[in-house]
Chain A
Amino acid sequence: MMLDSETTKTYTRPISKAWWLRDRGHFNRRYFMFLLRELTSVFVALYVVIFTYEIFLLTKGPDAHAAFQESLRSGPFIVFFVIALLFALYHSWTWLGLTTKMQAAGRGLVKIGTKTLPPIFIALGSYGAWIVATCVIAYLFLTL
């Protein structure tokens, strides 16, 4: 039998519109967490926009700045920042864990001679860098 591109078609499994909630009748946690992970970027972007707006208000004088700082104390903003912080932490956790995962998957990103460095060292490096960056920013913010 001859098979050529005109007589054969690649089978593509039908995917439901809400595949991240229900896939073939079941909730798939991996799909859902994938979507949450992608969603972290929306909160990161929203925070960046708010921060940029805060800096912009400095050009409008002390009163405009103080008024906005006051509104940041309101419930909706606090709730937003709590949610944004949780998403930002999830982004950091997943993003900084990537290189460790690749190392563990045997891709051997980092080698010493012919030996692959145990993934735990990659984890210590990336999460360690996060802790150091966090401490440095907090220190500068509190003391500069």
Chain B
Amino acid sequence: MNYKEHKSEPFWWGMFSQGGVIAALLIPIHIFLCGLAVPLGLIDPELLSYERITALLQNPLVKLYLCVLLIFPLYHAAHRIRFTLAEIGLHSLAKVLPVLCYGGALAGTAVVLYILWVLL
């Protein structure tokens, strides 16, 4: 695949890699606990109650953890989606895809930071 290498390219590859590791280590257990175990009643629903989660979020370490969990995988996904969309036929968009994908990840970063550190 031909694309002119932008000088920011190593940064995106680095974020892709970081996000890949964080997603690999942490996402499955989160999906299981919050997406399946609590809704299906396998564990106490009170674990995700408003009172408990807001209390946990008082701890800056929890906020920091959530920042890492929610931000890095966005860059991982942006990078993969960028190349895969080009490879399944959107070659013509090869110049726009990086802007859209990494732009999306950057916007997501801003949203996560705003929610966790300004709104909450």
List chain A positions with a Cβ less than 8 A from chain B: 17-18, 20, 35, 38-39, 41-42, 44-45, 47-52, 54-56, 58-59, 61-62, 65-66, 69, 72-73, 77-78, 80-82, 84-85, 88-89, 91-92, 95-96, 129-130, 133-134, 137-138, 141-142, 144
Q: Which residues does chain A contribute within 8 Å of B21, judged by CB atoms? A: 95
Given A96-B24, A130-B25, A133-B25, check contact A48 B39 (CB 8 Å).
no
- Does B23 make an interface contact (CB < 8 A)? yes
For B, the interface residue count at a CB cutoff of 8 angstroms equals 51
* 11 pairs, A vs B, C-beta closer than 8 Å: A17-B88, A38-B83, A44-B73, A50-B35, A56-B119, A69-B39, A72-B38, A95-B20, A137-B29, A137-B33, A141-B47
**Chain A facing B: main interface SS:** helix
A-B contact count (CB 8 A): 141
- Does B15 make an interface contact (CB < 8 A)? no
Q: Which residues does chain A contribute within 8 Å of B88, judged by CB atoms? A: 17-18, 20, 35
Q: Which residues does chain B contribute within 8 Å of A77, judged by CB atoms? A: 35, 39
